[in-house]
């Protein structure tokens, strides 16, 4: 299992990276492995508001569905449309595959470092 | 008789094998004072011969009409022999939902073929495996069109009253609003619709042909609906699609309808079949079971229940619908019907529906005091005024003919490919005779 | 096997209709269909063989053992089919009027009377078309009841975490917030958990009894009393009624309304996924809220579908009720429970039951230890059963048991069948220890090998396309 140190993590298994004030969000390696083969991603629309700790979409595997929980409050400014045709990218490269980008970030959950998150997952 | 095969001696042996000495002990978790004392207030069980007699006697208490000129949501079409025999086969009949693809390929393939036929008929991209009936299909369509911002549903007042009431009930459930668009001259009032298409409207539903049998200008209704940013839902009569423009060509986002005309008997209202199809864009919002093609571990083509993450057993309270059992055997019946008819047979049936109903209309409206209530093209139903209505309908019934349905403003008549010219002539003659008295 | 479309030959057809004996009518411009639907073009013999070939690739309860837990796959008597095919029923127009449909009314009224007696209810509708549809109808009774009293603060429906997915989905369709309560370790309702969530916002509780692990909740009177004290109503999910019909009545357990799946308990066939039919019963004070058809009956009521429901399915159920009668109904229930206990004990010693006590009509095997030991999962055991011609049990339900296999043999299986089934489970138990790989790849002799469900969901192919 991989926990890149340059990222921050939420307890709901999303990773976050800030790029010029914009929050880039994806799911962790642990999350994708727990989910199994991802078959579809329900994405929000550009312009939708997000709230820290609230779902912004979900990911489907064959026999399960999991909420995607947003670690920040803000406005969706970009969605990764590539995922609509190739959801398997979340399995193949979870850290190289972002899901949404959020701007106007006004609030952020208490996030974990890679080390803390790894401890949480292996607990 | 309870269809229990084990003999009394075997049952005792089995009781002993589980370490019990009496039936009562099987129910030891049930509080004693809750157990039924004495017997149920039901008649004693019957032999098969007696049961056959008792139930047949009930059937005899219904009137059997040789000619049915009543439609209004349930239509008397010819049902080919093969369409009756295939769904009665023991395996199709007694299987459960095809959860185990490895032993259910027959059911799964038949549903896949059904989905394809519904897509062909409607021109849409994706069909589900069916819902309960045309009314619930309309209600499910309204639900799939709602999103966080647009919650209000519009329905044409010229839709079937049971459809309107069912959609209203589903809206009552979720606490969403339904608004009924007024009717003008037997059709959806276009000007009223334009006014009612506000920003909070999620979808507009129109029935084609409508409850009064008339053809709506669906192209124009669809354009209006889309211009306001709402989704356009059409409720279609499947036989009429043999000749009528497809909902896809009319711009529909969702096409639904009552599948009963496709080989299902009138049966006092059920079981019937709700069909439901949409565009690729809305595929993942479609409720109910959907069968998909894939390959097995050896690379062979096969079929499975697919896109299950939409459904209640996975999504629970977040599912958009709670449906699980549908009308699979009725969908199979409809597929066999469509396959037996083929493209030409379906067109022929539709054309004969039109020809026979227009013949009936001309015959009736030639009689004194009988006039078409609404003008404009119709498919196989029409409303006329009818003097001495009760008397005329009673006279028809005495002659083995179920006449049209009394509705506001007159009587709603229907004729299909099933009626011969002689039958229609007879009906017209009976009406003439009463009116001449 | 080829699809029906791949067998199509242009120009081939069946001759069914006579030539039109009246003048043709043209549709006006703008209304005409512009495309020909690609329906198959085949002769009757092609069609008969195609569907017979498909039919051979179906396993129905009348073909063999089908212990699919919570689905009550009992034998579907042929006489029920004969009765439902009587022209005196099939030819009746739903709007033919009371005078001409007295027989249909008698079927519905008689079936309603008997089912009220069996459940301890006082009102009954057959309008819903399936179990989930019945749940929707039942919870709408609860919603209307509270609304009629101006009691608008009741926003929550309580559902145990072991419930079938339809329960929470139904509550949501009725606009309620779903409150999931954890089950006690024995799978029954945790009274403390229930008390903790009850309050003046409680609209009702949805419950099955026997519950989803096949146990009768002995605290049932206390549970319904607590909900009533809080001002809520109690809804009985009749999925498991087969265990107790004629023995104990939901009405006497304190339930206010109930749904019954006629296609489970009352032996009507399931048709590969439907049509089912559902009866929803209620106590007298809820009768005024039962659904009615706007066109058949009178406007002003809710209605959950057109007309009177899946009538021809009710004919089958009534035939079954009349056949069993007052002696046969409890006899069926008792033998369903006996068969389940017998099968559970015969299997025990290999796979172990999740709850080692007397069960009702079904029981759950817990394979989590076995999986740890051998790597063989509940799924692998289920798939292996297919090679023996047995339909697998319900898998991975209820969710409170890991690696669950849920078996419901029903009363219509003989001792010989149960002995045979138990033997197969024991064989597989041993096989999994010796050759787990063989079971990972099961089935080996079925219609197909395991399907690629991931591919089906990632790249949906949901219809045939003309090549």
CA angle B110, C240, C412 (to 5 degrees): 70
Residue A26 to chain B, least CA–CA distance (Å): 20
Q: How many angstroms separate the CA of residue A107 from the nearest CA in chain C?
A: 28
Q: What is the mean pLDDT of residues C16-36?
A: 95
Cα C440 from chain centroid?
Answer: 29
Cα separation, B235 vs C372, whole angstroms: 53
Average the pLDDT over B232-253 and give the result.
98
Nearest neighbour of B284 by CB, restricted to A40, A63, A64: A40
Half-sphere exposure of C148 (CA within 13 A, CB side): 11
Q: Where do you find CATH 3.90.1150.10 in chain C?
A: 334-453
Dist CA C126 CA C279 (whole Å): 5
Closest to B338 in 3D by CA, of B134, B108, B82, B105: B82
Distance, C-alpha A51 to centroid of its chain: 14
Looking at chain C, the domain(s) classified CATH 3.40.640.10 span 78-322
Mean pLDDT of C240-249: 96
Number of other CB atoms surrounding residue A93 within 10 Å: 12
Rg (CA), chain B: 25
Q: Does B294 touch chain A (CB under 8 A)?
A: no
**Poorest-pLDDT segment among B29-38, C47-56, C381-390, C422-431:** B29-38
Over B199-237, what HEC string results?
A: CCEEEEEEEECCCCCECCCHHHHHHHHHHCCCEEEEEEC
C244–B244 C-beta distance less than 8 A? no
What does the angle CA C381 – CA C241 – CA C320 come to, to the nearest 5 degrees? Answer: 100
Q: List all residues 6 or more positions away from C396 whose beta carbon is below 8 Å from its beta carbon.
A: A63, C378, C379, C403, C404
Percent of chain C with pLDDT over 90: 92
Contact flag B92-C168 (C-beta cutoff 8 Å): no
Distances in Å between the alpha carbon of C148 and those of B193, C110, C141, C144, C264?
A: 32, 30, 10, 6, 33
Measured between CA atoms, how close is C370 to chain B, in angstroms?
A: 22
Q: How confident is the model at residue C397 (pLDDT cuts 50, 70, 90)?
A: confident
Alpha carbon distance B224, B227 (integer Å): 5
Nearest CA in chain C to A36: C454
Q: Residue B300 has what pLDDT?
A: 97
Mean pLDDT for B328-344 is 98
pLDDT at residue C41 above 90? Answer: yes
Can you tell me whether residue B123 is helix, strand or coil? coil
Inspect the interface and report whether the beta carbons of B293 and C74 lie closer than 8 Å.
no
Question: Radius of gyration (Cα) for chain A, nearest Å?
Answer: 13
- Buried (b) or exposed (e) across C59-74, using 16+ Cβ within 10 A? bbbbeebbbbbbbbbb
Question: Is 0.90 topped by the overall pTM?
Answer: yes
The gap between the terminal CA atoms of chain C, to the nearest Å, is: 17
**CB-CB neighbors (< 8 A) of C303 in chain B:** 135, 162, 165-166, 169
Cα four-point dihedral sign C332, C338, C341, C347: negative
pLDDT of residue C226: 97
CATH dotted code for C78-322: 3.40.640.10
B334 by DSSP, 3-state: which?
helix
A41, two tokens? 């991603």
Q: Are B172 and B203 in contact (CB under 8 A)?
A: no
Neighbours of chain A (3+ CB pairs under 8 A): B, C
The C-alpha of C282 sits at a distance from chain B's nearest C-alpha, in angstroms, of: 18
Residue C449 in contact with residue B296, Cβ under 8 Å? Answer: yes
Whether residue C401 is predicted with pLDDT greater than 80 in this model: the reply is yes
At residue B308 the predicted structure's pLDDT band, cuts being 50, 70 and 90, is confident
Q: What chain A residue is nearest to C455 in terms of C-alpha separation?
A: A39
A58 touching C (Cβ < 8 Å): no
Candidate from B105, B125, B312 with C-beta closest to C447: B105
3-state SS class at B75: coil
pLDDT at C467 over 80: no
Minimum Cα–Cα distance from B319: chain C residue: C169
Compare CB distances from C91 to B26, B129, B266 and report the shortest one's residue. B266
B308:A62 CB<8 A: yes
- pLDDT of amino acid C279: 97
Q: Report cis status (omega within 30 of 0) of the bond before B209.
A: yes
Tracing tokens 């990222």 back to the chain, one arrives at: A7
Please give the share of chain B, as a percent, with pLDDT higher than 90: 93
C12 pLDDT above the threshold of 90 = yes
What are the start-end ranges of the E strands in chain A?
Answer: 8-9, 14-19, 22-27, 38-42, 49-50, 55-61, 65-69, 72-79, 100-108
Q: To the nearest whole angstrom, how far is the Cα of B118 from the nearest Cα of chain C?
A: 9
What the block records as the tokens of A55 is 């779902």
Residue A62 with chain B: CB contacts under 8 Å? 308-309
Count of CB atoms situated within 10 Å of the CB of B408: 8
The better pLDDT of the pair C212, C311 is held by C311
Q: Are A65 and B315 within 8 A, CB to CB?
A: yes
- Within a 13 Å sphere around the CA of C125, how many CA atoms are in the beta-carbon half? 35
Give B78-88 pLDDT, tens digit per residue. 999 999 999 99
Q: What is the rounded CA–CA span in Å between residue B92 and residue B31?
A: 41
Put simply, whether B284 touches A (Cβ < 8 Å) is yes
∠ CA C136-C139-C143 to the nearest 5 degrees?
A: 125
Q: CA–CA separation, C272 vs C382, rounded Å?
A: 19
Segment B316-344 mean pLDDT: 93
Q: Which ranges of chain A have pLDDT less than 50?
A: none
Nearest to B169 by CA among C245, C379, C302: C302
Task: Enter the CATH code of domain B67-78+343-436.
Answer: 3.90.1150.10
Helix residue ranges, H only, chain A: 29-35, 82-85, 89-92, 114-122
Instruction: Give which of C199, C126, C208 is closest to C166, Cα–Cα.
Output: C208
Q: Given 3-state DSSP classes, what are the helix, strand and coil percentages for chain C, each rounded to the nearest 5?
A: 40, 10, 45
Q: Would the CB atoms of C458 and A60 count as touching at under 8 Å?
A: no
pLDDT in tens, C344-374: 999 999 999 999 999 999 999 999 999 999 9
A87–C contact, CB cutoff 8 A: yes
Contact flag B45-C324 (C-beta cutoff 8 Å)? yes
Distance CA C272, CA C390 (A): 16
The pair of structure tokens assigned to C113 is: 């009377």
Residues of chain B with CATH 3.90.1150.10: 67-78+343-436
The string of pLDDT tens digits covering residues A98-113 is 999 999 999 999 999 9
Give the model's pLDDT for residue C398.
79
Q: What's the rounded mean pLDDT across residues C58-75? A: 94
DSSP class per residue in C272-299: TT----EEEEE-GGGGGGS---TTTT-S
pLDDT at residue B2, as a whole number: 86
Determine the residue among B149, B286, B292, B309 to mutate to test chain A binding: the one whose Cβ has the most chain A Cβ atoms within 10 Å. Answer: B309
**Quick one: pLDDT at residue C267?**
94
Match 């000495």 to its residue by tokens: B21
CB of A40 within 8 Å of any CB in chain C? yes
* Closest Cβ–Cβ partner in C321, C338, C391 for B26: C338
Query: What local confidence, expressed as pLDDT, does residue B209 receive?
Result: 98
pLDDT at C249 over 90: yes
The contacts of residue C318 (CB under 8 Å, 6+ apart) are: B55, C107, C110, C111, C114
Give yes or no for residue C412 having a pLDDT over 90: yes
Asked if pLDDT for residue C163 goes beyond 90, the answer is no
d(C-alpha A72, C-alpha B310), whole Å? 27
Q: Kindly list the residues of chain C whose beta carbon comes within 8 Å of any beta carbon in chain A.
A: 396, 453-454, 457-458
Q: How many CB atoms lie within 10 A of CB B435?
A: 17
Residues forming CATH 3.40.640.10 domain(s) in chain B: 81-336
Go through the domains of chain A in sequence order and give each one's CATH number. 8-122 (2.40.50.100)
CATH fold, domain B81-336, is 3.40.640
Cα gap C417→B10, rounded to integer Å = 12
Distance (Å, rounded) from C-alpha C262 to C-alpha C265?
6
Instruction: Count Cβ atoms below 10 Å from residue A121 Cβ, excluding itself.
Output: 19
* Domain C334-453 = CATH 2.60.40.10: no
CB atoms within 10 A of CB B159: 25
Whether residue C421 has pLDDT greater than 80 = yes
pLDDT value at residue B317: 83
Contact yes or no for C413/C390 (Cβ under 8 A): no
Q: Looking at the complex, report in whole angstroms how far the Cα of residue B234 sits from the nearest Cα belonging to chain A.
A: 27
**What are the φ/ψ torsions at residue A17 (nearest 5 degrees)?**
-135, 130
B81 exposure class (CB count in 10 Å sphere: 0-12, 13-18, 19+) = exposed
Q: How many CB atoms lie within 10 A of CB B300?
A: 13
Helix (H) or strand (E) holding B293, with range, is strand B290-295
Residues ≥6 apart with Cβ < 8 Å to C78: none
CA gap C176, C156 in Å, rounded: 5
**8-state DSSP, A53:** T
The conformation of residue C186, written as its DSSP 8-state character, comes to: T
pLDDT of B309 strictly over 90: no
Are the Cβ atoms of B30 and C58 closer than 8 angstroms?
Answer: no
DSSP H stretches of helix in C92-165: 102-119, 131-148
Mean pLDDT, all residues of chain B: 96
Is 0.90 exceeded by the ipTM? yes
Lookup: tokens for B270: 């059920």
Confidence at residue B124, expressed as pLDDT on a 0 to 100 scale: 98
Beta bridge partners of B262: none
Exposed, middle or buried, C434 (CB in 10 Å: 0-12/13-18/19+)?
exposed
DSSP structural state of residue C31 = S
Q: What is the DSSP string of C430-441?
A: HHHHH-HHHHHT
Chains in contact with C via at least 3 Cβ–Cβ pairs below 8 Å:
A, B
Residue position matching structure tokens 């219509």: C412
- The answer to whether B390 contacts chain C (CB < 8 Å) is no
CA pair distance B130, B288, nearest whole angstrom:
7
């Amino acid at each position: 299992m991989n926990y890149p140190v340059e990222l921050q993590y939420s307890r709901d298994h999303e990773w976050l990276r800030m790029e010029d004030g914009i929050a880039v969000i994806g799911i962790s390696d642990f999350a994708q492995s727990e989910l199994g083969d991802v078959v579809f991603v329900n994405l929000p629309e550009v312009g939708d508001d997000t709230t820290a700790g609230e779902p912004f979409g979900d990911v489907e595997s064959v026999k399960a569905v999991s909420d995607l929980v947003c670690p920040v409050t803000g406005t969706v400014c970009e969605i990764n449309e590539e995922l609509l045709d190739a959801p398997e990218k979340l399995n193949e490269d979870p850290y190289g595959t972002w899901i949404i980008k959020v701007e106007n970030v006004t609030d952020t959950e208490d996030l974990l470092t890679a080390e803390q998150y790894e401890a949480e997952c292996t607990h | 008789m309870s269809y229990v095969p084990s003999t009394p001696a075997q049952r005792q042996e089995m009781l002993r094998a589980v370490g019990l000495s009496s039936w009562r002990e099987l129910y030891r978790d049930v509080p004693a004072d809750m157990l039924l004392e004495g017997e149920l207030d039901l008649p004693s069980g019957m032999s098969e011969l007696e049961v056959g007699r008792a139930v047949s006697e009930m059937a005899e208490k219904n009137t059997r009409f040789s000619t049915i000129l009543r439609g209004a949501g349930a239509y008397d079409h010819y049902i080919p022999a093969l369409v009756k025999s295939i769904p009665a086969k023991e395996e199709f009949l007694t299987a459960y939902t095809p959860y185990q693809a490895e032993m259910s390929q027959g059911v799964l393939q038949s549903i896949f073929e059904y989905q394809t036929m519904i897509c062909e008929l409607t021109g849409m991209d994706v069909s589900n495996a069916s819902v309960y009936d045309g009314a619930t299909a309309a209600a499910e369509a309204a639900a799939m069109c709602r999103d966080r911002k647009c919650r209000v549903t519009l329905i044409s007042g010229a839709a079937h009253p049971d459809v309107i009431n069912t959609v209203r009930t589903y809206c009552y459930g979720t606490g969403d609003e339904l608004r009924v668009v007024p009717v003008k001259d037997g059709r959806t009032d276009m000007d009223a619709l334009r006014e009612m298409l506000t920003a909070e409207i999620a979808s507009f539903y129109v029935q084609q042909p409508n409850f009064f049998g008339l053809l709506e200008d669906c192209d124009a209704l669809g354009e209006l609906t889309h211009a306001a940013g709402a989704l356009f839902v059409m409720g279609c009569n499947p036989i009429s699609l043999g000749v009528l423009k497809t909902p896809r060509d009319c711009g529909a986002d969702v096409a639904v309808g009552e599948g009963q005309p496709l080989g299902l008997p009138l049966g006092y209202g059920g079981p019937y079949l709700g069909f439901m199809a949409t565009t690729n864009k809305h595929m993942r919002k479609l409720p109910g079971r959907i069968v998909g093609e894939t390959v097995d571990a050896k690379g062979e083509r096969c079929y499975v229940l697919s896109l299950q993450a939409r459904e209640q057993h996975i999504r629970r309270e977040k599912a958009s619908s709670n449906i699980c059992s549908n009308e699979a055997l009725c969908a199979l019946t409809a597929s066999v019907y469509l396959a037996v008819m083929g493209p030409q047979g379906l067109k022929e049936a539709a054309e004969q529906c039109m020809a026979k109903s227009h013949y009936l209309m001309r015959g009736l409206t030639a009689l004194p005091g009988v006039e078409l209530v609404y003008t404009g093209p119709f498919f196989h139903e029409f409303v006329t005024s009818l003097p001495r209505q009760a008397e005329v309908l009673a006279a028809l019934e005495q002659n083995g003919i179920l006449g049209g349905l009394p509705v506001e403003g007159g009587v709603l008549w229907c004729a299909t490919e099933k009626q011969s010219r002689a039958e229609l002539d007879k009906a017209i003659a009976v009406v003439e005779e009463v009116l001449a008295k | 096997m080829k699809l029906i479309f791949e067998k199509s030959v242009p120009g081939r057809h069946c001759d069914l209709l006579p030539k039109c004996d009246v003048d043709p009518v043209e549709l006006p411009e703008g209304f005409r269909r512009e495309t020909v639907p690609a329906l198959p073009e085949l002769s009757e013999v092609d069609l008969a063989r195609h569907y017979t070939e498909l039919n051979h690739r179906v396993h129905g309860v009348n073909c063999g053992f089908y212990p699919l837990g919570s689905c009550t796959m009992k034998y579907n008597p042929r006489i029920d089919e004969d009765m439902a095919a009587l022209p005196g029923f099939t030819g009746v127009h739903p709007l033919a009027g009371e005078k001409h449909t007295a027989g249909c009314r008698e079927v519905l009224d008689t079936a309603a009377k008997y089912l009220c007696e069996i459940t301890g209810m006082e009102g009954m509708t057959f309008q819903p078309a399936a179990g989930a549809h019945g749940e929707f109808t039942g919870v709408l009774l609860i919603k209307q009841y509270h609304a009629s009293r101006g009691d608008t603060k009741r926003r929550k429906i309580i559902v145990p975490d072991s419930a079938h997915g339809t329960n929470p989905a139904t509550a949501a369709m009725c606009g309620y917030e779903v409150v999931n309560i954890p089950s006690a370790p024995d799978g029954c309702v945790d009274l403390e958990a229930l008390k903790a969530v009850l309050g003046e916002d409680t609209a009702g509780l949805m419950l099955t009894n026997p519950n989803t692990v096949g146990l009768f909740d002995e605290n049932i009177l206390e549970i319904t009393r607590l909900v009533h004290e809080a001002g809520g109503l109690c809804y009985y999910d009749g999925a498991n009624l087969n265990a107790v019909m004629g023995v104990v009545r939901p009405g006497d357990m304190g339930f206010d309304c109930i749904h019954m799946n006629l296609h489970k308990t009352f032996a009507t066939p399931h048709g590969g996924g439907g049509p089912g039919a559902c009866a929803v019963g209620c106590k007298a004070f809820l009768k005024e809220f039962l659904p009615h058809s706007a066109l058949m009956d009178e406007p002003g009521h809710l209605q959950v579908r057109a007309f009177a429901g899946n009538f021809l399915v009710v004919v089958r159920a009534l035939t079954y009720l009349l056949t069993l009668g007052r002696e046969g109904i409890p006899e069926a229930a008792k033998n369903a429970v006996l068969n389940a206990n017998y099968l559970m004990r015969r299997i025990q010693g290999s796979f172990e039951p999740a709850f080692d006590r007397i069960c009702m009509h079904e029981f759950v095997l817990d394979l989590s230890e076995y999986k740890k030991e051998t790597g063989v999962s509940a799924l692998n055991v289920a798939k292996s059963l297919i090679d023996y011609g047995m339909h697998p049990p319900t898998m991975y339900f209820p969710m409170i048991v890991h690696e669950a296999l849920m078996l419901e043999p029903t009363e219509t299986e003989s001792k010989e069948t149960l002995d045979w089934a138990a033997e197969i489970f024991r064989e597989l138990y041993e096989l999994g220890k010796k050759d787990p790989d063989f079971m990972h790849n099961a089935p080996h002799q079925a219609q197909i090998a395991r399907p690629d469900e991931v591919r089906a969901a990632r790249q949906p192919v949901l219809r045939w396309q003309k090549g």
